[in-house]
Structure 1
């Protein structure tokens, strides 16, 4: 598959699968350096690359426009293709994860009810658009979702994080939501530990318990 970075185990022999979506202005290589190389290496990781470094041009907290909806549709299709690429080779459990804009995209894909990952981790994420916008809400009931935010984050305000938590909870997912006071716009060690625990649970054939400490 074009425009995707493979890291970790070979897909056919991996204990679990992970699609990890980078944020605005970032790259798959940066996500590997900052996050993925610190996760279990018996997992097959695919990291799709956004054209031009951005999955959509608007801020996540802006009202949805026709342009943003079209950009979201194209980006979701690219992430879905990465998921399909893994699942053509392996039936092992799959975690969909992303940071910042990638976290937002992960929530949107889960809410669309398509591709159906076995768990989702949206690190510094929120729903794209406003609560008053027409947005899909078809997440799989009981889907394990880990959602994080920071109280001073310059891109995802705490109000958007809280609205996303309420939205995902209303969709019936199994949600853990953590706020990290004063954390920079980055993935913290505690969030990496949670991802590692989720992948270990998936690799062991069980639903993520999301019990790692903050």
Structure 2
């Protein structure tokens, strides 16, 4: 399969860290490059921005009950994250503990990746995200002991209700993540300068090795 991801930042072999950034519904890697990555002090980070083959990574809203069709699309999207990491690793990027980040539907995907896939991560940045499907006692979870996680949201966001972000924060805390969660009153469906600052701070603190 042809790699359609967007690569930005430091060359893979000279990068200190790898960050996979996942776009949201009806968005493109190029838009995320312009509206998010370009606002970061890119420095020595190699960014890979995978591209959804459809309008969205999965058709349902994250807060809808997770149907079999949604779960199948979710697994396909998580496979795309795995493929992005593997592609960057093949080019020489440090991939032992990648940083996973995303906005909106992309933020939901990186949260699900952390809970469902058994891979060591350097950090997790979920800009306006929640779990896919309302969390239940049987929702997939795994230990995230000490993993730096930043989760943001807003009480005015039309796609990710604050209650869903709070539920995701509770899940992350139970799993042992080193969590920083913020809700921005009145913030539209966008990434604020304050969120960019935290994202940059996390990247600076995350190296190629633990």
Query: How far does residue 16 in structure 1 lie from its aligned partner after superposition?
Result: 1.5
**TM-score normalised to the size of structure 2?**
0.93
2:135 and 2:12 map into 1 onto residues whose CA distance is 38
Q: CA-to-partner distance for each residue in 1:145-202, whole Å, 9 max, x for gaps?
A: 1000001110000110110000111111111000011111001101111111111111
1:12 and 1:27 map into 2 onto residues whose CA distance is 25
Distance 1:139 1:72, change over 3 A: farther
The alignment status of 1:25 with 2:26, answered yes or no, reads yes
2:143 and 2:105 map into 1 onto residues whose CA distance is 19
Say which of 130, 139, 143 aligns to 1:126. 130
**TM-score normalised to the size of structure 1?**
0.91
Q: Give the length in aligned residue pairs.
A: 206
1:150 and 1:18 map into 2 onto residues whose CA distance is 24
Distance 1:3 1:204, change over 3 A: closer
1:64 and 1:132 map into 2 onto residues whose CA distance is 11
Contact conserved, 2:94 with 2:208, CA < 8 A, in 1? Answer: no
Measured on the aligned residues, the alpha-carbon RMSD in Å equals: 1.6
Query: How far does residue 136 in structure 1 lie from its aligned partner after superposition?
Result: 1.1
Q: Which runs of 5+ in 2 are unaligned?
A: none
1:14 and 1:146 map into 2 onto residues whose CA distance is 22
2:5 and 2:139 map into 1 onto residues whose CA distance is 27
Aligned to 1:2: 3
Query: How far does residue 204 in structure 1 lie from its aligned partner after superposition?
Result: 8.3
Aligned to 1:60: 62
Contact conserved, 1:113 with 1:139, CA < 8 A, in 2? Answer: no
Q: Which runs of 5+ in 1 are unaligned?
A: 207-214
Distance 1:73 1:150, change over 3 A: same
3-state SS of 1:53 partner: coil
Aligned to 1:210: none
